[in-house]
Amino acid sequence: MTHLTPRAGARAPASLALLFSLVLTACGGGGDNAVQSNSPAPAPVASSPTAPTPEPGPSASSPSPAAPSPSAGSPSPAPSPSAGTPSPSPTPTPSPSPSPVETPAPPPPPASGAALVTTGNPFADAALYTDPDYGKKVAQSLTRVTAGSADATLVKAAAAFPTAVWLDRLAAIDGAKASGGAMGLADHLDAAVAQQKAASGTGALMPLAITIVVYDLPDRDCAAYASNGELSSANNGLATYKTQYIDRIAEIVARPAYAGLRIVAVVEPDSYPNMITNLSVPACANVNQKQVYVQGIQYALAKLSATKNVYLYLDIAHSGWLGWDDNRQKAVQGFKALVQGATPSGRLDIIRGFASNTANYTPLDEPFFNGDDPIVDPSKTTGFYEWNRGVDELTFIDKLRTEFTAAGFPSTLSFIVDTSRNGWGGPARPTGAAPDVDDMRIDRRAHRGNWCNVKDTGIGERPRANPDASRSYLDAYVFIKPPGDSDGTSDSTANTPNAEGKRFDMKCGSTIVDSLPNAPHAGQWFHDQFLMLLRNAHPVLK
């Protein structure tokens, strides 16, 4: 998937406001395969005046510039985990093999009497599913650290992390458990039911939330290479997506055996923001013209929302991508059209809300500054923020919530934030304010658009419901991207897509100062990165 931020001085050949307007028109109408809506498409959003664009920022002449355009030359995907057997880091360190990590017990049960199915926050009062396949990957890392060491303690703690289950290709739906491979969707739901029963003991059955990621659009990640996927719109990919992917997922989650689970679905990470901010890229222009992403997402929303215990969060990228005021406001109109087009009545309440920061590294909070002029002005102390006042994820979702509800979304609209890799702990973490923002920002990347296996990062806030009493619309912190799953290979010779459509992306290579070396393909287990994330966790992992 692609997380984009503007490169210094980069601009698209056309106004981003115009690009958003074109996409809004596409969202309201469909081709023959579209989920039809009786509601009219929203009017195109008018473009704000465009300011000049000196180096290094996209618009340094005014603190409120026209929407800067992400550069297609510096895509920032965060590819999905692979459901296949995890592969070790290319340079393992032999060590004695201790006993494998036992399958972790479910998290402590919620308060007795909580309803199994809710119309509110699906994470509230619920146990969180722990993926046995993730536990196996963690167990693999335990064999590669010294028994009784500090690293061994950290690895054992990680075995209890609740992580999302990625359905990133057709084969992931069935899995290959019978032959010793990865679990399929029904296997995971069966395991969730078993964990729910174990958490409940002899008392009344208690709620359990399991998170799945719907991620297999045709022509996926149109502006990147690390995880393009298996389906092509040129080869009937949209029809395959609907009938062999979404329909199958919808049938499984609707089975009576799973009616007591709270099934959270994160829908198509970054696909829509990827497209609308990269229309200068031919592949993205093509999926926009054919309405591939729009029709696919609308179909998924319509089908999955029909099951009452499925809770939909549509991915909304992150603050380093849509944080600029103009970008964000136009995105709100685009997402409104997208959601309205999923049903004939144009309902906006078919989604629970939005997921931000999926598989990215943007901090929840920059503790020593806000996004005011001296911080974001690239002519001052840094070019890192390029007039983007959305310096962190909490600022981003606060503004989005206000703007979405003002646009007509219901007051119940909520957010989840992926905190699996945005802790930024360790010795390099700043401890106080400084005259130069580069000396006090906890996001230590050289460029905010660097996304691939980023160095010096750490586990963030642990998954939990209602984490912030001041933000009732923040449903949960979650680990959507399982810590330890690679973002993409650093092997610059891997230019032919593998069976899962994954290949080398330049943002994962040795020319990017922030990227770790010796990285395997996207989704494969990256032991070195896993240990780094645990050691640099913030709050500290114990």
- Enzyme catalytic residues: 270, 487
| CA–CA distance, 491 with 131 (Å, rounded to integer) | 29
Residue 108 preceded by cis peptide, ω within 30: no
The residue ranges of DSSP E strands in 66-177, in sequence order, are 127-128, 165-167
Cα 124 from chain centroid?
21
* DSSP string for residues in 285-315: HHHHHTTHHHHHHHHHHHHHTTSTTEEEEEE
| CA–CA distance, 376 with 245 (Å, rounded to integer) | 43
Q: Which of 467, 374, 347 is nearest to 418 (CA)?
A: 467
Within 10 angstroms of residue 385's Cβ, the number of other Cβ atoms is 27
Angle ∠(7,480,501) on CA atoms, nearest 5: 65
φ/ψ of 399, rounded to 5, equals -70, -40
Q: Which of 409, 322, 408 is nearest to 358 (CA)?
A: 322
Q: List the structure tokens of 396.
A: 């981003």
Q: Which of 267, 452, 283, 296 is nearest to 359 (CA)?
A: 452
- In 201-270, which ranges are continuous DSSP H helix? 237-240, 247-253
Q: List the structure tokens of 503.
A: 């290949």
- Neighbouring residues of 159: CB distance < 8 A, sequence distance ≥ 6: 101, 102, 104, 135, 138, 139
Assess contact for 399 and 390: CB atoms under 8 A: yes
| CA–CA distance, 310 with 6 (Å, rounded to integer) | 35
Assess contact for 357 and 393: CB atoms under 8 A: yes
| CA–CA distance, 145 with 150 (Å, rounded to integer) | 9
Taking the alpha carbons at both ends of the chain, their separation in whole angstroms is 31
Q: List the structure tokens of 431.
A: 């401890």
Burial grade of 253 (CB within 10 A; 0-12, 13-18, 19 or more)? buried
